[in-house]
């Protein structure tokens, strides 16, 4: 009986599989690891003969592949570059600036940011390459204050992988508001950098509503082999609503603050809240108004403008500010 010929669909599938494996070969060799024939064959799950054919195919396609006896690994000549997206000057400048920001020690992304920028530089046209390199070199980020240290990067990565894979999380959480550590099983919704800290917004498996968890307070966080229930329509802005930062109070307040003339220009340079509105006064002062949910976060910000701001309303915020100032005076009036 004659052998049945493969269908067109089967041929395309086999072709796509071979192409995917070929690209995987090239991606490994051009990466940061060291790959010799034995390790490549094991990683690609192919025979030495198949590996030899893939190498010949790449060479025929113009890829300058060679074997370095000194490093015992396949290499691609350093001046080789694939065609890439055509970035204009503004786009390249934006990418270089983003790499500089991401490379800040405070964000714990330095090695990843550097590797990503290097790949863009290696595959870019010469004019774009210069802009990328110069933007990253001439843009520096100093003294960016983010809560936590480099160990937090692994926690963030675990949470991001859970979101990408749609799986649940389990973690041990330490907070100053509880007498001891709390173990949570969570449905992750978002990872968010808000002001000076990273947060995980997730719904505990035993509850109906999501909570806000500060990333640095997780002592352990791992993914579970269980599908997470992640709402497709979750809106982070709607979740935080009018919270001054991340913790939303139960009562909403219309806040009106009068800043003195010597503070007016500086306070208006920043959009402190998405509800912010300003009204210049005849004497050079300025009135800022906000709509906020809860006062516990905004009061700390108001205290930072001590002597240059008057709380017009609400009276609850004014009382909080007065009490905090009284406590500060009492604390600093005590001589040891």
Distance CA 183, CA 199 (A): 17
Of the given ranges (46-60, 91-105, 166-180, 319-333), which has the lowest mean pLDDT?
91-105
Distance CA 288, CA 254 (A): 11
The class of domain 252-332 in CATH terms is alpha beta
pLDDT at 119 over 80: no
Top-ranked range on mean pLDDT: pick from 118-127, 145-154, 175-184, 225-234? 225-234
pLDDT at 110 over 90: no
The class of domain 152-240 in CATH terms is mainly beta
Sequence-separated (6 or more) residues with CB below 8 Å from residue 161: 223
Task: Quickly state the pLDDT bin for 336 (edges 50, 70, 90).
Answer: low
pLDDT in the model for residue 307: 93
Domain with CATH 1.10.10.10 in the chain: 16-76
Domain with CATH 3.30.70 in the chain: 252-332
Mean pLDDT (the chain, rounded) = 87
Fold of the CATH domain 16-76: Arc Repressor Mutant, subunit A (1.10.10)
Task: Quickly state the pLDDT bin for 264 (edges 50, 70, 90).
Answer: very high
pLDDT at 157 over 70: yes
CA 275 to chain centre: 25
pLDDT in the model for residue 82: 62
pLDDT in the model for residue 27: 80
Strand-pair category, 211-214 with 197-204: antiparallel
CA 166 to chain centre: 18
pLDDT in the model for residue 170: 96
- pLDDT, average across residues 279-287: 97
pLDDT at 289 over 90: yes
Of the given ranges (68-72, 168-172, 207-211, 309-313), which has the lowest mean pLDDT?
68-72
Domain with CATH 2.30.30.520 in the chain: 152-240
Top-ranked range on mean pLDDT: pick from 48-57, 81-90, 109-118, 202-211? 202-211
């Amino acid at each position: 009986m004659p052998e049945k010929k493969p269908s067109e669909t089967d041929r395309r599938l086999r072709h796509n599989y071979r192409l995917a494996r070929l690209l995987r070969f090239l991606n490994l060799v051009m990466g940061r690891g060291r790959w010799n024939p034995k390790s490549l064959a094991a990683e690609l799950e192919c025979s030495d003969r198949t590996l030899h054919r893939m190498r010949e195919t790449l060479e025929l396609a113009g890829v300058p592949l060679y074997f370095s006896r000194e490093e015992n690994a396949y290499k691609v000549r350093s001046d080789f570059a694939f065609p890439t997206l055509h970035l204009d000057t503004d786009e390249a400048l934006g990418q270089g600036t983003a790499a500089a920001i991401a490379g800040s020690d405070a964000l714990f992304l330095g090695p990843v940011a550097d590797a990503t920028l290097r790949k863009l530089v290696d595959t870019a046209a010469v004019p774009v390459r210069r802009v990328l390199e110069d933007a990253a070199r001439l843009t520096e980020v100093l003294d960016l204050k983010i809560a936590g240290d480099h160990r937090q990067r692994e926690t963030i990565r675990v949470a991001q992988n859970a979101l990408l894979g749609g799986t649940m999380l389990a973690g041990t959480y330490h907070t100053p508001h509880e007498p001891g550590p709390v173990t949570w099983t969570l449905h992750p919704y978002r990872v968010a950098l808000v002001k000076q800290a990273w947060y995980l917004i997730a719904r505990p498996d035993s509850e109906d509503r999501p909570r806000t968890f500060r990333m640095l307070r997780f002592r352990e966080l791992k993914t579970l082999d269980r599908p997470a229930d992640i709402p497709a329509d979750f809106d982070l802005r709607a979740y935080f609503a009018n919270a001054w930062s991340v913790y939303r109070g139960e009562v909403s307040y219309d806040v009106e603050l009068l800043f003195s003339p010597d503070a007016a220009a500086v306070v208006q340079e920043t959009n402190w809240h998405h509800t912010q509105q300003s009204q210049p006064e005849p004497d050079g002062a300025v009135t800022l108004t906000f709509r906020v949910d809860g006062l516990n976060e905004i009061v700390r910000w108001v205290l930072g403008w001590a002597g240059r701001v008057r709380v017009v309303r609400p009276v609850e915020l004014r009382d909080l500010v007065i009490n905090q100032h009284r406590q500060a005076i009492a604390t600093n009036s005590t001589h040891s």
